[in-house]
Amino acid sequence: MKETTSQYQGCSVRTAGPRSDIRRRIPKLTPVLLGLACCLLAGVGCVNRIREHKHPVLLTRSDIDHYCVAALEGTSADERRKAVERLGKSKQNNTPQVSDTLAKVAANDSSPTVRSAAVIALDRTNSPRSCEVALALLQTDGTNPILAEEATIRLAALQTIQHCAIDDRVPLAELDPVVEAAKRFLEQDRSRHVRLESARVLGYFPRREVLDTLVNSLRQKDFGICYEAEVSLHRLTGESFDCDPVAWKKFLGGATNPFANAPEEQETQSTSKRSWFSRQQ
């Protein structure tokens, strides 16, 4: 139907046809159509996919089941890593299902990045298995060359061992393997980060052979290693000799009990995570 022209008080006025009415209604229908399209896309996107829009604290039981499957059977390493990280941050991270899943991923996944993420996530759960899994990853034959590609796994395992030592969660039967592994990594590992973490870990095991290893590491050219060894020596003995191995040798040679003056209060993992303001109270 075409537009018609009529005369009104000397002016020509055009009368719109049905097409003009449709054009006027389109702007009103646009938000409705966009809303329907968004709902359809959201519904399609939630099918057989990880619900990344949810905060880890708000995960439900079905979400936990979904992430456990994705952590073990995800097609890509990035998908498995994201699932592992969200499991570690969830409120249900201390359940046997989550602990078993993270332990399996840490031991068997083909990607070193995913395995290290699983060790870190398991450490967040404070599960008794965290120390067990970390120690198993550190049990390598000292005669074999240490692979630099897996440095992230050793670093995550050592950090977990440190947290377990701070909270006194290292089993007595595992003290000797932990100390031997940390000493070996401090002396031989190719990764600087692993050597630094090994020096920190040894600071929580008051043993004479640990003191000798730390003093010997003061002769390394890397000042970062020397500094961490000095901090650990001070934590164990309460003494400080400014990274001087000769002075430390002299002190240890004349001390009957070098741990007698060790600081009584040690920082725990729970207090180390507190904010600066809460620690001032």
Per-domain residue ranges of the chain? 52-105
- Beta-ladder partners of 125: none
pLDDT grade, residue 12 (50/70/90)? Answer: low
Residue 6 DSSP one-character state: E
Confidence of residue 105 (pLDDT cuts 50, 70, 90): very high
Spatial separation of the C-alpha atoms in residues 131 and 217, rounded to whole Å: 26
State the DSSP string of 41-97. Answer: HHHHHTTTS--TTS-GGG--HHHHHHHHHHHHH-SSHHHHHHHHHHHHHSTTTTSHH
Torsion, Cα 8 11 12 18, to 10 degrees, reads -60
138 pLDDT band, cuts 50/70/90, is: confident
pLDDT for 157 equals 92
With 90 as the cut, is the pLDDT of residue 270 above it?
no
CA distance 70 to 82: 9
| Predicted confidence (pLDDT) per residue in 212-255, tens digit | 999 999 999 899 999 999 999 999 999 989 999 999 999 988 88
The share of the chain scoring above pLDDT 90, in percent, equals: 35
pLDDT surpassing 80 at residue 33: no
DSSP 128-170: HHHHHHHHHHH---TTSPPPGGGHHHHHHHHHHHHHHHHTT-S
Average pLDDT of the residues of the chain: 79
Residue 27 confidence class, pLDDT cut points 50, 70, 90: low
* CA triple 150-152-153, angle to 5 deg: 70
pTM of the model: 0.71
More confident residue, 20 or 179: 179
